[in-house]
Amino acid sequence: MDLFGSSGVRGVAPGELTPELVLRVARATGTIFEAERVALGRDTRETGRLLVGAAASGLAAAGSDVDRLGVVPTPSLQAYCERESVPGVVITASHNPPEYNGVKLVAADGVELSNERLEAVESRLDDAGYATWDRTGSIRSVENANRAYNRELLAALDREAIADADLRVVIDPGHGAGALTSPELFRELGVEVRTIHAQPDGHFPGRDPEPVAENLTDLGRLVAAADADLGIAHDGDADRAMFFDETGAFVEGDAVLAALAAAELRAGDVAVSAVNASQRLVDVVEAADAELRLTPIGSTYITTAIRELRADGRSVPIAGEGNGGILFPAYRIARDGAYTAGRLCELLAAREASLGELIAPYDEYHNVRHNVAYDDSAERAAMLEAIDAAAEVADGTVDRTDGCRIGYDDGWVLARPSGTEPLVRVYAEARDPDRAAALAAGMRDRLAAV
């Protein structure tokens, strides 16, 4: 798939991800879906409105009626799709910087399109059909999708247990679509809510959409100052959640995933994660006598693996990555930042523990990440050669599921090109922080020397 990367079509808009391209993708999607009606939503990005117009035109030209949901978290659109049994299109670049935008496609069961179906859409980009004039779709606005989404979350979570825990939470939706849903949801769950960066704003004045520690310093300070129990941060389309503990310290996403997985997994279950999965998750899975299935990095690979495993009769109670994108497939095969945060609140309530106490068993590993940017395809190719060279001389086990993961007794390092940005990502993990830093720096320096 050239166009659909690991997480949909992405690019700087409107120059790279052009309205023309979005219209073609939407028309091909409408042709493949053959649906009478398609849901269409967007996150808060400045270019979202114009790209939604292009997508609506493409879908209607292919003959589908269009339900325009306005600004919605991706999981809100997925909930709408499942509820209405209609496929969907969402204009979002998720965690990417403000100048980016993108397209994600959702099937009529609320699950992201499989790689196979994405390939079918991609193959019809140049010869998608047009409906005749009297069969073109109509376009209407739907007002209450977020309200219905929150009602569904309320019904799926244990409101009584969460309310009884008397939690105080600071929510940072990062000016993204979650600003319209998460603060209200947690108030309705009986949580005392404070907010920061909670106005939807495509300029993202308070922080960048990616929920990583360096973008979330305001949230950490506010959690400490407000004497809150935890902080919750979303990415631009709120399918991810990252957390701060009761001291205002950033919690590694891998530690949260491990804590949630430890509560979910039973013997014989399968957990699905990506090739950058933490040793924390490996340990939790082993302790539960469960199995860990690793996929290439990217949500579509994970959802595809979950569907295949469940079709084989396997139980997959939890899946996801350390970036805060977590799935509870029994609820829906979709990453959902609000549901993940709700499940974490349930766990805190059940254990009568603080977040710091809950993640303490998973705190002994150290993660280091670097991004190494490249300017052109020649430099990218040279970096891939440098990775190959590193793998050849490495005194460890090499996994090529996605990029190159080199495992050692005391840690591992992974290098892989980003699916959405012109850079190679380097990840390393070890019990000893100096070892993790050295593993990551060693790979980074090889790439930077190209």
Q: Which lies closer to Mg ion via its Cβ, residue 137 or residue 419? A: 419
Q: How far apart are CA 408 and CA 369, in angstroms?
A: 17
Helix (H, G, I), strand (E, B) or coil at 133: helix
Encode 409-420: b = buried (16+ Cβ within 10 Å), e = exposed. eebbbbbbbbbb
Q: What's phi and psi for 129, nearest 5 deg?
A: -85, 165
Helix (H, G, I), strand (E, B) or coil at 444: helix
Is residue 402 part of the contact set for Mg ion (CB under 5 A)?
A: no
Question: CB–CB of 178/73 below 8 Å?
Answer: yes
Minimum distance from CB of 382 to Mg ion (Å)?
Answer: 31
Q: Site residues for Mg ion, window 36-75 (CB under 5 A)?
A: none
Neighbours of 60 (CB within 10 A): 20
Q: Which lies closer to Mg ion via its Cβ, residue 58 or residue 236? A: 236
C-alpha distances in angstroms, 449 versus 42, 388, 435, 436? 40, 14, 21, 20
Q: How far apart are CA 214 and CA 226, in angstroms?
A: 20
Interface segment toward Mg ion; rule CB under 5 A; list 13-21, 91-99, 355-363, 385-393: 91-99
Q: How far apart are CA 148 and CA 276, in angstroms?
A: 35
Query: Which two tokens mark 291?
Result: 């199995």
Which residue among 44, 47, 57, 94 contacts Mg ion (CB under 5 A)? Answer: 94
Q: Binding-site residue total for Mg ion (CB under 5 A)?
A: 4
Interface segment toward Mg ion; rule CB under 5 A; list 38-46, 87-95, 131-139, 182-190: 87-95
Q: How far apart are CA 399 and CA 419, in angstroms?
A: 18
Q: Which lies closer to Mg ion via its Cβ, residue 237 or residue 264? A: 237
Minimum distance from CB of 422 to Mg ion (Å)?
Answer: 20
Minimum distance from CB of 94 to Mg ion (Å)?
Answer: 3
Interface segment toward Mg ion; rule CB under 5 A; list 49-57, 60-68, 93-101, 263-271: 93-101
Minimum distance from CB of 234 to Mg ion (Å)?
Answer: 8
Q: How far apart are CA 92 and CA 87, in angstroms?
A: 16
Minimum distance from CB of 43 to Mg ion (Å)?
Answer: 8
Minimum distance from CB of 337 to Mg ion (Å)?
Answer: 8
Q: Which lies closer to Mg ion via its Cβ, residue 239 or residue 254? A: 239
Query: Which two tokens mark 414?
Result: 């992974």
Question: CB–CB of 170/226 below 8 Å?
Answer: yes
Minimum distance from CB of 440 to Mg ion (Å)?
Answer: 24
Q: Which lies closer to Mg ion via its Cβ, residue 10 or residue 366? A: 10
Is residue 94 part of the annotated active site? The answer reads yes
Interface segment toward Mg ion; rule CB under 5 A; list 86-94, 104-112, 179-187, 433-441: 86-94
Question: CB–CB of 105/112 below 8 Å?
Answer: yes
| Nearest C-alpha neighbor of 341 from the set 224, 239, 427 | 239
* Catalytic option among 6, 7, 94, 299: 94
Question: CB–CB of 68/59 below 8 Å?
Answer: no
Q: How far apart are CA 269 and CA 123, in angstroms?
A: 36
Which residue type does 90 have?
A: V
Per-residue binder mask for Mg ion (CB under 5 A), 226-255, x = binder: ---------x-x-x----------------
Q: Which lies closer to Mg ion via its Cβ, residue 306 or residue 387? A: 306
Q: Which lies closer to Mg ion via its Cβ, residue 239 or residue 321? A: 239
Q: Which lies closer to Mg ion via its Cβ, residue 299 or residue 367? A: 299
Minimum distance from CB of 209 to Mg ion (Å)?
Answer: 8
Q: How far apart are CA 33 and CA 129, in angstroms?
A: 12
Q: What is the CA radius of gyration of the chain?
A: 21
Q: Site residues for Mg ion, window 142-171 (CB under 5 A)?
A: none
> Nearest residue to Mg ion, using CB?
94
Residues designated as active site: 94
Residues near Mg ion, by CB under 5 A: 94, 235, 237, 239
